[in-house]
Structure 1
Amino acid sequence: MQTADEQPLASGVGAVLRVLDRVAAQTVDLILPINSSEALGKITVRLDECRYLPSDPSANAYAYVTVTDPAKPQSNFSAWMIASSPALSALDHSRYDVWVVRCTLP
């Protein structure tokens, strides 16, 4: 994968994802390795990929995330999230917001 200006991206070993529970008014940071998932409340969050610019790892992160809610299978989410533009590919869930904060590096 490359960015719009054709800079190659490196793969992280995991990611930090932030989850907002709107009902409880609480945020939780999930630190997930690649190809792992964690249940949180009524949802399960899975991380498949996290990529970043090797020249500036803190500048941005691109994570492929899947969010499932067994009670609402029609609201499942599976897409790339971009740390600098969380609204570009946002989870549409009545209770939770999930966004990528950064990749974890090897």
Structure 2
Amino acid sequence: MRRPLLTAAVLTFAGLFPAQAQPVANPVATFAGLDKITGRITRFDVYIDETVLFGALELTPRACYDRPSSDTLQRTSAFLEVDQRSLDGSAERIFTGWMFADSPALNAVDHAVYDVWLIECKTSTNVPPPSER
């Protein structure tokens, strides 16, 4: 007799918390970058583990995940490493962490000249992969 009551309690409790979908890994991250000197905004695609140069910044996304639009968590996130290149060729790590497309200011690249933020994660792009360049 307790089993139906327990089952009903579990189903009621489970209904209070919506099921979260597993994030989907994508091979391409799309970023936007602002050059604060010129006011120019550039949108660019970067493959995971590829390093690209935006102004004096080297950006390397290590992961890019998205979730269904029905999910209540941050839907699009990327783990990013950013190094600043100096004129002598040396690099200094200025950012390592997660960026969220839904909240670009939450974890932003703090730089005097450039802003970079995540736009989306994609499964494909018209940019050839690094192995084909």
- Give the TM-score category using the shorter length: 0.7 to 0.9
- Does the 8 Å CA contact 1:60/1:102 hold for their aligned counterparts? no
- Give the TM-score taking structure 1 as reference length: 0.83
- Aligned with 1:69: secondary structure? strand
Q: Deviations over 1:15-42 (max 9, x none)?
A: 1010111011101111011110111221
- Does the 8 Å CA contact 2:27/2:47 hold for their aligned counterparts? yes
TM-superposed CA distance for 1:7, in Å, is 2.5
Distance in 1 (CA, whole Å) between partners of 2:27 and 2:119 is 14
> Which of 36, 40, 57 in structure 2 is aligned with 1:43?
57
Distance in 1 (CA, whole Å) between partners of 2:55 and 2:101 is 23
> Which of 35, 38, 46 in structure 2 is aligned with 1:21?
35
Residue of structure 1 in register with 2:78 after alignment: 63
Distance in 2 (CA, whole Å) between partners of 1:45 and 1:94 is 16
- Does the 8 Å CA contact 2:55/2:114 hold for their aligned counterparts? no
TM-superposed CA distance for 1:13, in Å, is 1.1
Query: Which structure's relative contact order is higher, taking Cα pairs within 8 Å and 6+ residues apart?
Result: 1
Residue of structure 1 in register with 2:3 after alignment: none
The answer to whether structure 1 residue 87 and structure 2 residue 105 are counterparts is yes
State the identity %: 24
**Count of aligned pairs between the two proteins:** 99
Unaligned runs of 5+ in 2: 1-18, 125-133
TM-superposed CA distance for 1:60, in Å, is 3.0
- Does the 8 Å CA contact 1:44/1:68 hold for their aligned counterparts? yes
Higher Rg: 2
- Aligned with 1:76: secondary structure? strand
- Does the 8 Å CA contact 2:35/2:115 hold for their aligned counterparts? yes
Residue of structure 1 in register with 2:11 after alignment: none
Distance in 1 (CA, whole Å) between partners of 2:75 and 2:44 is 17
TM-superposed CA distance for 1:6, in Å, is 3.3
Distance in 1 (CA, whole Å) between partners of 2:64 and 2:40 is 24
- Give the TM-score taking structure 2 as reference length: 0.67
